[in-house]
């Protein structure tokens, strides 16, 4: 057949558009699944489901030749000309109400595109499991009169009981459940069923919540008079609010400067307009104090923390969706709260790593919030004493509006921060163990003056950098400016970014000291040392090992607050967001463990950590001080933290980032490969890197490819891990490269790989 005759045939077979009749059109739904095959797939919508099916509801369909039953989300609905191919029908519509507004559908589609995951994964992240399973709900039947049924109608020939039933329904303003109807008409279920069979009653069914959990409001707390910086900050937020335009506002305020107070005032304004606000805080800050602070200021608050049951989560979700909640306070995933008229998003401690999800979809709540705030035309307020360098950079390039609150409320002084040089301690051999003599004396004094003490040990035991105890020198990679990791068994030092490998030095390259080595220390060992140094003093250790039970974290903090515990020691878990007026001393056991982590953000993390922990002291009248033990007292991150000088730290660190072309000056994607067999995982990582190299050529994108190298956590849960770091100037270009490289790529059996866009975790 010649092309032209084929054309003619086509035209012959298909009438021109103006002749299409109704019959030739069909309603087509695009369905995506939460597992492979992900879709989207086209299904036709049968007439009887047209009224019920809506975008964002879930449906049952049969997939493929095997007619595999599947549940999927309806993400698109459109009329299309009935094609030659017969589409399978939607079998059932699951949800009574839609789970995703058009806004949220667009947001999840963007999320999947940006984070290189499947749409179904993004949808599952946005809709809590408890909502999908309809936890805590049950199907309830409601009875009402059929339009033609009347108790006075003699032609109906009703028994006395039947008449009582109809009368009860006539008198009710709402449809009744079976129980209610039996009670009101004083009958059993039998006559009700008879009437139903006669079609005098109509039955509808609805899913309702089993329980009605209720938060009783707390007594209202009075507002403070705002100080000048707070008034300026509030005015800026309110003017954005009133403009109806999106703006991101970065509030850089030292701990205790009154940022939360500003959020609360802005939210009050949002509520006056009949809108809702979302406040994201790090999971660890969702303490009873935070909850109470919001609940004492707002009547209808939903606090979404990780210990909620599915049932409770579903309950809150429904209330939020109905517009019954004014303020949603929650961790990362609260950014997906289905508020009908969102007015404001606040992210407190915006630099916190917990806003990034560490499994697919690996989204960052700050970026999702920014997308949402733009799409819905509202302000996004980011607050921190130590903003992430990404946000700081954006504020300085004019993308964000910067507000600063440099002083604490009542001008309370910031605590004095001092260092203890561990090199001196080492050379004088003045103490054995983790606690230096000056720190020991300071603890002693604090306890004698009835103060409390926090000791911080930031330890991830495996990360063993090589640092000279005599001069503090750290062996680094010349390509990446990252500390090399010591592999004791093979006596090698390796860069976990670019795979640079040398023999571990025996002598310090800097001062020639011949005892260069690293001795790790755990919280447990520290606890033992403290107990033996301060016998009879109540000590509590807090880390992820001791705080596994839900609620144990809060209980421990309550005991510390009450003064029962005098010394609290632990990992960074204790560094954040807690307000203890009686803490007069904070000791950082070894700031270097965080400083020489194989991560380009190591300095930033250390600065944040020391600053945050310093914010834990001096909150009350007594004031307080901070002592930081370190082998690197002249390191810029430590020096800046001592002086509470964020701006100086940020300026210096951004220079380093620029020089090595790290974010925020480039876009970064991390590819992580895991496998039970080291050789198989490594071979696949090599193959992946080759494909990326190919793809950079195909896409004509200049990309820096680091690795593959063993990940710093080279073996985890019995799997060997390799990673590849990709950097390019433009984020969209870089995603294009990874998409191209991943096209039809199938790892061998027992090898898995993951894409992490804008990675925070480099381990
Ligand atoms: P941040 O969020 O910056 O750490 P907060 O808003 O929690 O600061 O304020 C620190 C403390 O000061 C809180 O106890 C708060 O109630 C109080 N506070 C805040 N603003 C004022 C103010 N204008 N006047 C008096 N007290 C205030
Ligand atoms: Zn390197």
Any idea what the CATH number is for the domain that residue 432 is in? Answer: 3.40.50.300
Q: Is residue 382 part of a domain?
A: yes
**Shared-domain flag, residues 255 and 330:** yes
CB-count exposure of residue 67 (10 Å: 0-12, 13-18, 19+): exposed
Question: Closest-lying ligand to the alpha carbon of 477?
Answer: 2
Cα–Cα distances (Å) from 308 to 83, 127, 353, 381, in that order, read 48, 15, 22, 26
Q: Is residue 69 part of a domain?
A: yes
If DSSP codes are grouped into helix, strand and coil, which group holds residue 758? coil
pLDDT average, residue stretch 503-532: 78
Buried-state track 583-611, b at ≥16 Cβ within 10 A, e below 16: bbbbbbbbbbbbbbbbbbbbbbbbbbbbb
- Count how many Cα atoms sit within 13 Å of the Cα of residue 83 in the half-sphere of its side chain: 11
Which of 221, 223, 230, 258 has most ligand 1 atoms within 8 Å of CB, for mutation?
Answer: 258
Q: What is the pLDDT of residue 203?
A: 87
Residue 220 binned pLDDT confidence (cut-offs 50, 70, 90): low
Q: What is the pLDDT of residue 528?
A: 83
**Shared-domain flag, residues 420 and 407:** no
Question: Contact, 497 vs 725, CB < 8 A?
Answer: yes
Cα–Cα distances (Å) from 463 to 493, 495, 524, 575, 592, in that order, read 12, 12, 17, 20, 11
Question: Contact, 609 vs 570, CB < 8 A?
Answer: no
Is the confidence at residue 272, as pLDDT, over 50? yes
Domain boundary among 349, 379, 411: 411
Q: Is residue 166 part of a domain?
A: yes
Residue of higher predicted confidence among 455 and 410: 455
Q: What is the pLDDT of residue 12?
A: 42
Tokens of 322: 């109905």
What residues pair up with 72 in beta bridges, in sequence order? 33, 59
Residue of higher predicted confidence among 483 and 325: 325
Q: What is the pLDDT of residue 566?
A: 93
Phi, psi of 491 (to 5 degrees): 55, 45
**Shared-domain flag, residues 437 and 426:** yes
* CATH code of 182's domain: 1.10.10.10
Which of 261, 279, 411 has most ligand 1 atoms within 8 Å of CB, for mutation?
Answer: 261
- Report the alpha-carbon distance of residue 695 to residue 693 in Å, rounded: 5
Q: Is residue 223 part of a domain?
A: no
Closest CA to 712 of 638, 601, 548: 601
Question: Closest-lying ligand to the alpha carbon of 226?
Answer: 1
Q: Is residue 217 part of a domain?
A: no
Give per-residue pLDDT as tens, 682-733.
999 999 999 999 999 999 999 999 989 998 878 777 789 999 999 999 999 9
Q: Please report the atom of ligand 1 found closest to the CA of residue 255.
A: 4
Q: Is residue 87 part of a domain?
A: yes
**Shared-domain flag, residues 338 and 444:** no
Closest CA to 599 of 588, 608, 589, 587: 608
Q: Please report the atom of ligand 1 found closest to the CA of residue 263.
A: 6
Q: Give me ligand 2 centre to Cα 56, in Å.
A: 46
**Shared-domain flag, residues 172 and 56:** no
- Report the alpha-carbon distance of residue 80 to residue 511 in Å, rounded: 77
- Count how many Cα atoms sit within 13 Å of the Cα of residue 664 in the half-sphere of its side chain: 16
Is the confidence at residue 577, as pLDDT, over 80? no
**Shared-domain flag, residues 404 and 300:** yes
DSSP 359: S
pLDDT average, residue stretch 616-639: 81
pTM of the model: 0.81
pLDDT average, residue stretch 60-81: 92
**Shared-domain flag, residues 531 and 632:** yes
Q: Give me ligand 2 centre to Cα 756, in Å.
A: 20
Structural domain including 151 reads 137-209
- Report the alpha-carbon distance of residue 319 to residue 302 in Å, rounded: 9
Domain boundary among 113, 132, 151: 132
**Shared-domain flag, residues 628 and 551:** yes
- Spatial strand order of the sheet with 567-570 comes to 416-421, 625-630, 583-588, 452-456, 567-570, 539-542
* CATH code of 733's domain: 3.30.70.600
Q: Which amino acid residue places its CA nearest to atom 11 of ligand 1? A: 256
Q: Is residue 65 part of a domain?
A: yes
Beta-carbon count within 10 A of 163 CB: 16
Contacts of 703 (CB under 8 A, 6+ apart): 692, 696, 726, 727, 728, 734, 737
Number of H helices, E strands in the chain: 23, 28
DSSP 223: P
Cα–Cα distances (Å) from 198 to 162, 188, 390, 560, in that order, read 11, 17, 69, 69
**Shared-domain flag, residues 113 and 88:** yes
Domain count, the chain: 6
Which of 227, 231, 256, 580 has most ligand 1 atoms within 8 Å of CB, for mutation?
Answer: 256
Is the confidence at residue 567, as pLDDT, over 70? yes
- Report the alpha-carbon distance of residue 659 to residue 541 in Å, rounded: 41
**Shared-domain flag, residues 197 and 150:** yes
**Shared-domain flag, residues 594 and 718:** no
**Shared-domain flag, residues 24 and 149:** no
* CATH code of 51's domain: 3.40.1440.60
- Residues touching ligand 1 (Cβ under 6 Å) are 224-227, 230, 253, 255-261, 409
Domain boundary among 519, 534, 552: 519
Q: Give me ligand 2 centre to Cα 483, in Å.
A: 9
Q: How far is CA 226 from the centre of its chain?
A: 31
Q: Is residue 325 part of a domain?
A: yes
- Spatial strand order of the sheet with 201-209 comes to 176-177, 137-145, 201-209
DSSP 735: H
């Amino acid at each position: 057949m010649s092309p032209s005759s084929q054309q003619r045939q086509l035209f012959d077979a298909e009438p021109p558009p103006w002749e299409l009749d109704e019959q030739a059109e069909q309603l087509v739904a695009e369905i995506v699944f939460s597992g492979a095959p992900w879709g989207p797939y086209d299904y036709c919508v049968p007439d009887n489901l047209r009224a019920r099916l809506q975008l964002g509801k879930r449906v049952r369909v049969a997939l493929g030749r095997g007619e595999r039953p599947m549940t999927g989300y309806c993400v698109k609905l459109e009329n299309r000309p009935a094609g030659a191919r017969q589409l399978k029908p939607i079998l059932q519509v699951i949800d009574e109400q839609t789970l995703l507004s058009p806004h949220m559908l667009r947001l999840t589609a963007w999320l999947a595109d940006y984070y290189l995951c499947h749409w179904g994964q993004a949808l599952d992240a946005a809709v809590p499991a408890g909502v999908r399973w309809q936890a805590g709900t049950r199907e309830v039947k409601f009875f009402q009169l059929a339009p033609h049924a009347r108790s006075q109608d003699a032609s109906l020939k009703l028994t006395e009981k039947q008449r009582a039933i109809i009368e009860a329904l006539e008198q009710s303003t709402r449809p009744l459940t079976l129980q209610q109807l039996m009670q009101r008409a004083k009958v059993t279920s039998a006559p009700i069923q008879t009437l139903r069979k006669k079609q005098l009653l109509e039955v509808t069914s609805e899913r309702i919540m089993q329980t009605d959990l209720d938060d009783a409001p707390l007594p209202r707390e009075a507002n403070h008079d705002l100080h000048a910086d707070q008034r300026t900050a509030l005015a800026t937020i309110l003017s954005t609010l009133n403009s109806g335009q999106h703006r991101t506002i970065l509030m850089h305020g030292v701990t205790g400067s009154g940022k939360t107070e500003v959020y609360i005032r802005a939210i009050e304004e949002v509520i006056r307009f009949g809108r809702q606000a979302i406040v994201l805080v790090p999971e660890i800050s969702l303490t009873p104090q935070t909850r109470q602070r919001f609940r004492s200021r707002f009547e209808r608050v939903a606090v979404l923390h990780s210990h909620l049951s599915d049932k409770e989560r579903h309950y809150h979700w429904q209330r939020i969706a109905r517009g019954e909640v004014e303020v949603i306070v929650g961790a990362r995933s609260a950014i997906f709260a289905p508020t009908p008229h969102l007015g404001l998003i606040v992210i407190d401690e915006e630099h916190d790593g917990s806003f990034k999800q560490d499994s697919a979809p690996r989204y960052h709540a700050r970026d999702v919030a920014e997308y949402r705030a733009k799409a819905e035309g509202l302000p996004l307020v980011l607050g921190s004493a130590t903003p992430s360098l990404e946000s700081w950079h954006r504020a300085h390039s004019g993308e964000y509006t910067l507000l600063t609150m440099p002083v604490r409320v009542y001008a309370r002084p910031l605590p004095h921060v001092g260092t203890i040089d561990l090199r001196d301690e080492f050379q004088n051999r003045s103490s054995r163990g983790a606690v230096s003599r000056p720190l020991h004396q300071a603890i002693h004094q604090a306890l004698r003056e009835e103060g409390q003490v926090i000791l911080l040990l930031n330890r991830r035991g495996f990360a063993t950098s090589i640092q000279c105890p005599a001069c503090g020198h750290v062996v680094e990679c010349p390509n990446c400016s990252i500390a090399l990791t010591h592999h004791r068994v093979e006596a090698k030092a390796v860069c976990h970014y670019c795979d640079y490998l040398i023999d571990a030095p025996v002598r310090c390259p800097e001062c020639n000291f011949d005892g260069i080595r690293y001795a790790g220390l755990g919280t447990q060992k520290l606890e033992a040392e403290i107990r033996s140094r301060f016998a009879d003093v109540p000590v509590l250790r807090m880390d992820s090992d001791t705080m596994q039970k839900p609620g144990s974290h809060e209980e421990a903090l309550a005991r510390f607050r009450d003064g029962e515990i005098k010394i609290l020691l632990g990992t960074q878990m204790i560094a954040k967001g807690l307000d203890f007026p009686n803490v007069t001393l904070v000791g950082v056991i070894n700031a270097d463990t965080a400083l020489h982590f194989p991560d380009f953000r190591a300095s930033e993390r250390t600065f944040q950590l020391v600053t945050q922990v310093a914010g834990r002291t001096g909150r009350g009248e007594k004031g307080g001080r901070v002592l930081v033990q370190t082998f690197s007292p002249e390191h810029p991150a430590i020096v800046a933290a001592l002086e509470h000088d964020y701006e100086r730290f940020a300026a210096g660190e951004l220079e380093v980032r620029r020089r090595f072309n790290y974010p925020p000056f480039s876009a970064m994607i991390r590819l992580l490969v895991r496998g039970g067999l080291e050789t198989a995982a490594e071979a696949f990582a090599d193959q992946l890197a080759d494909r990326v190299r190919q793809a950079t050529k195909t896409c004509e994108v200049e990309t820096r490819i680091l690795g593959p190298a063993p990940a710093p956590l080279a073996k985890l849960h019995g799997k060997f891990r390799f990673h590849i770091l990709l950097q390019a100037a433009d984020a969209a270009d870089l995603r294009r490269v990874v998409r191209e490289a991943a096209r039809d790529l199938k790892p061998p059996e027992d090898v898995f790989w993951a894409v992490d866009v804008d990675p925070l975790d480099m381990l």
